[in-house]
Amino acid sequence: MSNVIEAEQLPTLLRDDDGQWHLDYFGEMIRTVPDAATTLEHASQWKSAHLTRIDQELEALRAAGAANATSKWSWFKQRFDASNVQNRYLPPF
């Protein structure tokens, strides 16, 4: 019997589009919604505000010609926006 735990069995890991595994810090971020976000509306506003801030950062990076940083933030936004974590009142976005 093997004591090896497969990556698929670990809820803290996600497989990305390129097949590589990484920590699911998106889910953890969403689980840190402030205690004030006790309704679906508040939780949705929280996530929306963060996506707006990410868009502002992307705009500034593009204007500065920072292609590498823009690529990283774009990847992050895509994963954060697609995160399907249901915690408290968060819907599957």
CA 19 – CA 25 distance, rounded (Å): 17
CB atoms within 10 A of CB 33: 21
Contact 82, 29 (CB under 8 A): no
83 DSSP assignment: -
pLDDT, tens digit, 9 for 90 and up, residues 30-71: 666 665 556 667 777 778 888 999 999 999 999 999 999 999
More confident residue, 80 or 71: 71
Q: Indicate yes or no: pTM above 0.85.
A: no
- Of 8, 32, 11, 16, the residue nearest 78 (C-alpha): 16
